[in-house]
């Protein structure tokens, strides 16, 4: 079946304005398995959009040759609201400027409304139970009353993602190596994703505390199985976040490699028939607990002078950077910032003037750090 491109309008926030979600659907709507890929829920994540641009030609060829199996939904930019937030030629896509906060936080836990729909209806037939859950998901989403444009955006993305078998949420970091976020219950089931992308870190947390989109999708079946332990629910939405390096890592060369990796993931998982795949690359790192990653914060505001770069290895107590007060008299000591763990420097800030409390760098360690509980992400 030929690719279908859908344009789904969002609510107009003001007279004369309207945004829309564009999605490409390959294969048969409702067929199994279903893969869902979205790029740049933080709208300023250009490497993710570039990866999708290089994935789509692979899917177009497979579509023409009748090699699509199941259903593949690709959203080339998941956040048209953020894409329109440009101030003096600077794209501000991480936060909704009308007060909605971080676009990738506070996605709701639907366990309670789903449980209410499913109570007394589940049986010992696992396949029938899975079908009931997916029906209930759509019913619950259909009952949500949106109040603003952002709510409509979230509903559109949720309807496609929550009933998928595989969800790849495509992002990038500031100045960073590629990495993969997932829940521990889906590792090593998602090892192929990390290996194909060539990530340098795999960060695992059952609940990172922020209500991110990938956990919104991946935790659904886990929580329902805990709620209904006597009824089989033999399904999972395998979901995680791909961080395609840093914001400045945008080129056709990188995009071509990333798009080809995404295609191979889909092909190896049976969404595309392809008898000519190369051997799967080896995983380049071990998975670690997200709580073992040291997330350094700026103790004071000022200019950041880094002493390390992504890919470096540091020891606890090593100098990571110095904060410079540009108003201080000559000879004033800088404020040093030291590593809190042994590990890999995963990322640092792209812009080098920061306020107090801003994130400075992430260092991937192996042992959970004291105090790293609850909210494990950067806002």
DSSP string for 233-292 = -----EEEEEEEEETT---HHHHHHHHHHHHHHHHHTTSB--S-PPPPPPP-S-EEEGGG
Mean pLDDT, residues 364-369: 97
What is the number of other CB atoms lying within 10 angstroms of the CB of residue 341?
19
Mean pLDDT, residues 268-283: 98
3-state secondary structure of 362: strand
Q: How far apart are CA 39 and CA 47, in angstroms?
A: 9
Mean pLDDT, residues 240-247: 98
Instruction: Name beta bridge partners: 24.
Output: 5, 74
Do residues 82 and 103 make contact, with C-beta atoms less than 8 angstroms apart? Answer: yes
Q: What is the dihedral of CA 341, 342, 343, 346, to 10 degrees?
A: 40
Over 80: is that where the pLDDT of 80 sits? yes
Tell me what pLDDT residue 1 has: 74
Distance set, CA 224 to CA 130, 137, 150 (Å): 11, 12, 27
Do residues 287 and 334 make contact, with C-beta atoms less than 8 angstroms apart? Answer: no
DSSP calls for 98-134: TTTEETTS-----HHHHHHHHTTT--S-HHHHHHHHH
Tell me what pLDDT residue 314 has: 98
The DSSP symbol for 68 reads B
Roughly what angle, to the nearest 10 degrees, separates helices 213-227 and 126-143?
130
Tell me what pLDDT residue 350 has: 95
Q: How far apart are CA 110 and CA 221, in angstroms?
A: 11
Q: H or E element: which one contains 224?
A: helix 213-227
Residues 6+ apart with CB under 8 A from 34: 70, 71, 72, 73, 163, 164, 165, 166
Mean pLDDT, residues 298-323: 98
Could you give all domains of the chain from N- to C-terminal order, each with its CATH number?
Answer: 4-285 (3.40.630.10), 290-364 (2.40.50.100)
Q: How far apart are CA 233 and CA 290, in angstroms?
A: 28
Tell me what pLDDT residue 93 has: 97
Q: H or E element: which one contains 150?
A: helix 149-161
Q: How far apart are CA 112 and CA 223, in angstroms?
A: 10
Over 90: is that where the pLDDT of 284 sits? yes
Provide the token pair at 197.
């992308």
Q: How far apart are CA 359 and CA 298, in angstroms?
A: 6
Q: H or E element: which one contains 302?
A: strand 302-306
DSSP calls for 169-190: EEEEESEE--EEEE-GGGTTTT
3-state secondary structure of 191: helix
Q: Which of 366, 49, 319 is nearest to 201 (CA)?
A: 366
Q: H or E element: which one contains 140?
A: helix 126-143
Tell me what pLDDT residue 178 has: 98
pLDDT tens string 115-168: 999 999 999 999 999 999 999 999 999 999 999 999 999 999 999 999 999 999
pLDDT tens string 199-217: 999 999 999 999 999 999 9
């Amino acid at each position: 079946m030929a690719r279908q491109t859908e344009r789904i309008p969002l609510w107009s926030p003001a007279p004369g304005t309207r945004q829309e979600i564009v999605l490409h659907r390959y294969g048969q709507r409702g067929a199994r398995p279903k893969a869902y890929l979205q790029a740049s829920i933080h709208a300023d994540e250009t490497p993710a959009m570039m990866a999708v641009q290089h994935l789509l030609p692979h899917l177009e060829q497979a579509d023409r040759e009748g090699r699509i199996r199941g259903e593949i939904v690709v959203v080339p930019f998941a956040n048209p609201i953020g894409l329109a937030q440009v101030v003096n030629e600077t794209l501000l896509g991480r936060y909704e400027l009308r007060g909605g906060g971080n676009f990738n936080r506070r996605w709701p836990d639907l366990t309670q409304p789903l449980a209410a729909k499913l109570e007394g209806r589940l049986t010992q037939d696992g396949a029938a139970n899975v079908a009931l859950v997916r029906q209930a998901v759509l019913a619950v989403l259909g009952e949500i009353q949106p109040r603003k444009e952002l709510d409509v955006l979230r509903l559109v993305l949720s309807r496609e993602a929550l009933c998928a078998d595989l969800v790849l949420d495509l992002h990038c970091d500031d100045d960073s190596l590629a990495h993969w976020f997932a829940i521990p219950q889906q590792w090593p089931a998602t090892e192929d994703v990390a290996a194909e992308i060539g990530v340098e870190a795999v960060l695992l947390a059952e609940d990172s505390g922020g209500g991110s989109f990938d956990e919104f999708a991946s935790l659904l079946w886990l929580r329902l199985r805990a709620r209904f332990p006597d009824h089989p629910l033999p399904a999972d939405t395998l979901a995680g976040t791909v961080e395609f390096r840093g914001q400045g890592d945008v080129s056709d060369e990188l995009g071509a490699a990333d798009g080809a990796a995404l295609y191979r993931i889909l092909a190896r998982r049976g969404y595309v028939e392809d008898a000519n795949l190369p051997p799967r690359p080896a995983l380049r790192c071990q998975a670690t607990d997200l709580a073992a990653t040291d997330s350094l914060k700026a103790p004071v505001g000022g200019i950041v002078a880094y002493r390390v770069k992504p890919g470096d290895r540091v020891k606890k107590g090593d100098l990571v950077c110095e904060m410079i007060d540009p108003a201080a008299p000559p000879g004033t000591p800088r404020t040093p910032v030291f590593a809190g763990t042994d590990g890999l420097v995963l990322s640092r800030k792209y812009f080098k003037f920061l306020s107090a409390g801003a994130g400075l760098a992430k260092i991937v360690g192996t042992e959970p750090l004291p105090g790293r509980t609850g909210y494990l992400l950067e806002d």
